[in-house]
Homo-oligomer: A and B are copies of this chain.
Amino acid sequence: MSHFPFTHDAMPANEITLPTASDFHIHLRQDAMMRMVVPRVAEGGVSLAYVMPNLRPPITSTEQALTYKAHLEKLAPNVTFLMTLFLSPDLTPDEVRRAKQAGIVGVKSYPRGVTTNSDSGIESYEIYYPVFKVMEEEGLVLNLHGEIPSDDEKDVCFMNAEEKFLPHLAQLHADFPKLKIVLEHATSKAAVDMVKSLGDTVACTITVHHLELIVDDWAGQAHHFCKPVAKYPHDRKALRDVVAEGHSRFFLGTDSAPHPHTAKETAHAHAGVFTTPLVLPYLATILDSFGALDRLQGFACEFGKRFYGVVEKDGHGGRTVTLKRTSFAVPQTYNFEADVVVGTEAGGVVPFWAGKEVGWRIVKG
C-alpha cells in the first residue's frame, strides 16, 4: 500500500504518512546553540542526522567524534547520529581505519576559506590520496563541499565556484571508482548534470532552501544567504527536476546551519539557513508547489539511507510521521539560552521563511 498523497482518481490527499526522514547534512553546533538545535531534529520529522564536523576546533579524530556523538545522543536519544571527520593534513590512514572501527561514516572536505570554520580546509586533493585509498578500502564516504576558492584572474566567484569545482569531482571519481562520494548541497544545473553522468558511487545532497531560492532571494536578505549561494532560475529548476524525476542518487541534506540573528542582521552576515525544526513541513510545501509531493518519501526518507547503506539504531527504524495539509505560520525565532561556561549570550535564530505560511504540518511523528 502506498502512502503517496494522491488517491486513485488523482485527487490530492490532505494527509500523508511517511517513514521518518533522514537529513544527510546537518550542522548541530556546540554549547547553548547545540542544546537548542538538537531537540528540534525530531520536531522536523527527522530521525537520522548525518553530522558535520566543522566545530571549533573541527572534529579531526575518532575520539572527538565519539565525544560529540555522546553529547548529541544525550540531547536526542531517539535520533540516529552518523558522525564525520574533518579532512585535514592531520588525518592519517590509521585514523581512518580507527574511525571505521568506531562506526564513523564519512569524511568531510571543505575548500579553504569558503565556508564556516573551514580555514583549515583544502585546496588540492592529491595530498589526500593515501587517505582516500584507505577510505575506499574501508567503505567510508567522502563528503565534498564542492566549491573552489574565488579567484579574480580565473573569473571564479561565488556564482560559478561550484561549476568550476566539478572537474575535481569527476577526477576523484575516476581515480577512486569504488569510493562513495557525495557532492553536498548542490546548487547548479551543472552539478546535477555532472552527478547524473557519473557512476553509482557518486551521489548528491540537495537542501530544502535551494529548492526554493534563487540569487534574487539572498540579495540583501541575510537569512537566505548561505554557501554555496542560490543561483539562477534554471539552476533551481534543475534541482527541482531531478527531485521530481525521483533520481535515487539525489537526496535530502539540509545543510541547516543556525546562526544567532545578530550574526545575520549585520554588516557581514554569516552564511547559513536554519531549517531543522520544520524540515518535512517545508519540504512537503515546496515539493507540492512543483507537483512532486509524491517524491517526498524517496527523497527525504529512502534514497540517502540506501546510498549510504546505513540503518538506524535498534528500534528506531520503523517509525512514521504524518503530515496534514494545513496552513500555519513559521515562528519568527527559536531562542537559545546564555552559556555561562563558554561565556556566550542568549539569543535567537531566525528560521527559514520566518513568519510565512507553510502548507503542511506534522500532526503525528
Contacts and interface: CB of A to CB of B under 8 A. Distances in A.
Contact of A219 (B151, B225, B234, B237): B225
Interface string A189-202: 00000000000000
B157 A215 contact: yes
Interface in A337-352: 350
A136 B203 CA distance: 59
Interface size class of A (residues with CB under 8 A): 35 or more
Contacts of A157: 214-216, 232-233
Given A152-B233, A233-B152, A220 B159 contact: no
A218 B61 CA distance: 36
A158 interface: yes
- Taken together, the copies of this chain in the complex come to 2
A219 B229 contact: yes
A16 interface: no
A232 B159 CA distance: 8
Nearest to A152: B233
Nearest to A272: B220
A193 B156 CA distance: 21
B214 A220 contact: no
Contacts of A229: 219
Given A232-B160, A267-B265, A218 B219 contact: yes
B220 A225 contact: yes
B268 A221 contact: yes
A27 interface: no
A162 to B, nearest CB: 13
Interface string A264-277: 11111111000000
Interface string A231-269: 011101100000000000000000000000000111111
Given A159-B159, A233-B155, A216 B150 contact: yes
A223 interface: yes
Interface of A: 150-153, 155-160, 214-216, 218-223, 225, 229, 232-234, 236-237, 264-271, 350, 354
The 9 lowest CB-CB distance pairs between A and B, nearest first, are A220-B269, A220-B225, A152-B233, A155-B234, A155-B233, A158-B216, A157-B216, A157-B215, A265-B266
